[in-house]
Amino acid sequence: MQYLTKVQGMPASVEAKVEKHLHNFLWAGKNGRTINKETLYAPAHERGKNLLDIPACNEAIEVTWLQSYLSLNDKHPLWAYIADRLLVLNVVQSDELIPLDLRINQFTQQWKSNTQNVPKDLSRMLAVAKKHNLKLQGLAFPRDIIWQMPVWYHAKSTATRALYSNKRNKLNACLKNNHRVRTVGDAERLARHLNNPNHKSHKWCKCRPCQRTCSNTGGYCSDAHACFTQAKRLLSALPDKWNLLTEELLEDYEACELCWQISSEDCHPFNPKITTQGTLVDAFRIFTAKVGIEDLPDTHIFPNLNYNHLTVYTDGSCTNNGLEDANAGAGIFVSPDSDYNREIKVPSELMPSNQVGEMLAIKEALEQILPYDLNIKTDSMYIVNGVTKHLQEWKDKGFIGVENAQLWQVLAARLHERNALTTLEWVKGHSGVPGNEAADWLANEGREKTQLDLIDMTIPQPLHLSGAKLSKITQANAYTAIKVAKSLSHRYQEARERPRTEQNIHKALESIKQAMGKNPSRKQLWKSLRNKTISRNI
C-alpha cells in the first residue's frame, strides 16, 4: 500500500475505506468506544498507542511529491515536466494576463494555478503546500540561488505588476524577446554594464558592452543603455535579501570568517555561517510560520584587532533528573571576582535536566558577555557536539524530533547574534579543574534558589528560521511534523481530555511516591506501561 500510495496517490474514497477497516479492527464495530482515535494517535508517553494516522501519512507522501517536483535541477523527474505544463496552462482568472512564456513556477513567482482544472493528484499536492506553508525562506542566500530565481513576477518582489507590463513599458518586451531575460542572473548580467567606466548614459554609447549587447540581439535592440537601466529597475524592486545590487552579500564576508578560527583536537569552533548552501531547491522550507523573515540579520564578525578574548566555564546541575520534581540550576564562571559569574534557576517550563542546565548556562553567558572572542569550557559532550557538529543538520530538518528543540533554537540564535568568534572546549567534569568546579558550585547554588530567574526565550525576527528544508526532510520527519501540528489543534486537545484517566494517573503517582519515595513524571509512567513486566521468584 505504501508503494502504490507513493506512486499513484490514495484517492479519498480509498482513504475512507482504509480508515473504516482500521476503526473496525480497533473497536470491533462497537459504537460505544471507550478510547477515541485522537488519543490512540498520540505517542506512548502521551497515553496513546502511536496508531498510524492514514490521512497524515498520505500528506507526508505528498510532501515527498513536492520534494521531487521542486528538484529544479537535473534530478527533475519526467512527471514534473508534465505537471509544470498543466499548472502553467490552468491559472486563476486574475493571472491570465501574465504571458504564458513567463509563467515558470508558481512557487518562485506571483501567480497561482486553478486547482479545480488540474488532476486531483496535483491539486492535493498544491493543497498540502498551502496547508503547511511551503515557501522560499532562509536567513540569507548566496548568489547562485539568487541568480536562479525568475526576475519576472518574482515571488519576493515589492513591485506592482505594472513594472512587468509590456503595454506600459516597451523596454520589457525588448528584455524578454531580444535579450531573452528570464532570471535574476540574466537581468544582473545586463545591469552590471552600467558600472563600466567607459559606458555613457545615453542611447548612442559606443562602449564595448553596448555594441556587443546590441549585436547579440541581431540589431533588434537599438538602445542598450535603456535596457541596462530597465534591468536594474527590475532588480531594485527586490528586497535586500534577494537583491544583487547590494554592496555586499553575507556570503562575501562569511567565506573569510572561518579563516580566523583555529580548530584543534580540544577546541571546536562554532560555524557562524547562515547563508543557505546548495541550489534553488534548498531555498524552500515547509512547516514554516505564517509570518516570513525578509530582513537580513547582522551577523558580521569583525576582526579581533585588540585580541579581546574571554574563557568562560559553564555547567548544569540537577536533582531527581527525569522525574516530575526535577530541580535544575545553571552556573557561569569566568574568574573569582568577575561580574559575569552567575547562578541560575532553571524554570519548570524548560523541563529541568542536566542537559537543559548546561544549555541554559551557555545561552545566558552569550547574552551577557560583551562581543569578545569567547572560549566556552563545558564538561558536556552533548553540548559540544550539538553546537559544532549537529546544529546545521537539526536546522535543516526543522528540529523535528530533537530533544529540547526550543532551547536549541534560541541557543543557535544567540550564537549567530554575536559579532565575535565562539569556540567550545570539553573538560572532564569533577576532575579538579578549578573553573569547572566553580561553575558546578554555582549551578548547585542556582538549583537551590527559591526565586526564579527571568529567562529570555525570544528570537529576533531576522534570525527566526522556522520550518524544515524541503530538500532534506524525509517522509518520516514530515509525518511526525504533521501529527504534531494536528495534536496542537483545539479539536484534538479537546478530544484528548479524559478527566477520569487523569484522576487514576494522579492516584498511581501518589501511590508510587508513598511506596518508593520517587515522583515519576506522567511521561515516564505512560512509557512504563509499554515495557515488559519483569518478575522474579524469591
Quick one: how far is CA 370 from the chain centroid? 28
Average pLDDT over residues 382-406: 94
Range name among 13-27, 84-98, 155-169, 410-424 with the lowest pLDDT average: 155-169
Q: How many domains does the chain have?
A: 2
Provide the b/e sequence for 180-204 (b: ≥16 CB within 10 Å): ebbbbbbbbbbbbbeeeeebeeeee
Closest residue by Cα to residue 416 from 293, 305, 290, 314? 293
Give yes or no for residue 154 having a pLDDT over 60. Answer: yes
Q: Find cell 519515595 and name the residue.
A: 517
Mean pLDDT value across residues 188-203: 92
Residue 76 pLDDT exceeds 70: yes
Which pLDDT band holds residue 50 (cuts at 50, 70, 90)? Answer: confident
Q: Is there a single domain that holds both residue 228 and residue 341?
A: no
Residue 493 cell numbers, joined: 486537545
pTM: 0.89
Per the model's pLDDT, the better-predicted residue between 6 and 178 turns out to be 178
Q: What is the mean pLDDT of the chain?
A: 88
Given its phi and psi angles, is residue 29 left (phi above 0), alpha (psi -120 to 50 degrees) or beta? left
CA 426 to each of CA 9, 265, 267, 423, 515: distance values in angstroms, whole numbers, following the listed order? 50, 10, 8, 10, 40
The 3 state secondary structure assigned to 289-348 is CCCCCCCCCCCCCCCCCCCCEEEEEEEEEEECCCECCCEEEEEEECCCCCCCCEEEECCH
In a domain, 149, yes or no: no
pLDDT at 183 over 90: yes
Answer yes or no: is 126 within a domain. no
Do 228 and 324 reside in the same domain of the chain?
no
Distance (Å, whole) CA 199 – CA 205: 7
Q: Does residue 37 contact residue 52 with C-beta atoms inside 8 Å?
A: no
Same domain, 203 and 325: no
CA-based nearest residue to 47, from 497, 478, 476, 484 = 497
Mean per-residue pLDDT, 520-528 = 81
Q: Are residues 202 and 326 in the same domain?
A: no
CA angle in degrees (0–180, nearest 5) for 302-308-313: 110
- Alpha helices (H) in 71-155, listed in sequence order: 78-89, 120-131, 143-148
* pLDDT number for residue 24: 81
Q: Which of 430, 463, 496 finishes a domain?
A: 463
Please compute the mean of the pLDDT values over residues 327-342 and round it to a whole number: 94
By residue range, what is the domain housing residue 437? Answer: 309-463
Does residue 228 belong to any structural domain of this protein? yes
Q: What confidence category does residue 232 fall into, taking pLDDT thresholds of 50, 70 and 90?
A: very high
Q: Which residues contact 24 (CB under 8 A, 6 or more apart)?
A: none
pLDDT at site 158 = 79
Q: What is the pLDDT of residue 150?
A: 95
- Is position 178 within any domain? yes
Query: Please, which residues have CB within 8 angstroms of residue 289's CB and are 6 or more apart in sequence?
Result: 133, 464, 466, 467
- What is the percent of the chain with per-residue pLDDT over 70, rounded to a whole number? 92
468 three-class SS: strand
Q: Is residue 442 part of a domain?
A: yes
**223 and 339 part of one domain:** no
Please check whether residues 323 and 181 belong to one and the same domain: no
> Is residue 40 one of the residues assigned to a domain?
no
Q: Is there a single domain that holds both residue 320 and residue 429?
A: yes
pLDDT (average), residues 81-94? 94
pLDDT over 90 at 31, yes or no: no
Q: How many residues does the chain have?
A: 538
**Cell numbers for 524:** 515516564
Q: How many other CB atoms sit within 10 Å of the CB of residue 466?
A: 19
Domain contains 45: no
Q: From 362, 364, 368, select the one nearest 384 (Cα to Cα).
A: 362
Model confidence band, residue 455 (pLDDT cutoffs 50, 70, 90): very high
Same domain, 330 and 211: no
The answer on 360 and 456 residing in a single domain is: yes
**119 or 293, higher pLDDT:** 119
* Higher per-residue confidence, 74 vs 166: 74
| Cα torsion through 219, 225, 226, 231, rounded to 10 | 100
Among candidate residues 418, 440, 463, the one where a domain is terminated: 463
Please state the rounded mean pLDDT for residues 184-208.
Answer: 92
pLDDT at 305 over 60: no
Q: Report whether pLDDT(122) > 90.
A: yes
Q: Are residues 458 and 313 in the same domain?
A: yes
Q: What is the pLDDT of residue 499?
A: 83
Q: What angle do CA 6, 9, 15 make, to 5 degrees?
A: 115
Please say whether the beta carbons of 417 and 299 come within 8 A: yes
Whole-angstrom distance, CA of residue 378 vs CA of residue 315: 6
Indicate whether 480 pLDDT > 80.
yes
Domain boundary among 446, 463, 480: 463
Please report whether residue 330 resides in a domain: yes
Q: What is the DSSP letter of 399?
A: T
Map residue 154 onto helix, strand or coil.
Answer: strand
Same structural domain for residues 194 and 319? no
Least confident of 73-77, 150-154, 283-287: 73-77
Q: How confident is the model at residue 5 (pLDDT cuts 50, 70, 90)?
A: low
Look up the CATH number of the domain holding residue 368: 3.30.420.10
Q: What is the pLDDT of residue 6?
A: 64
pLDDT classification of 286: cutoffs 50, 70, 90: very high
pLDDT value at residue 48: 83
Position 361 scores a pLDDT of 96
| Each residue's pLDDT tens digit, 356-393 | 999 999 999 999 987 788 999 999 999 999 999 999 99
Going by the DSSP 8-state scheme, the letter that residue 202 receives in this structure is S
For the chain, the farthest-separated pair of C-alpha atoms sits apart, in whole angstroms, at 104
Q: Where are the alpha helices (DSSP H) in 132-249?
A: 143-148, 170-173, 184-191, 208-216, 224-236
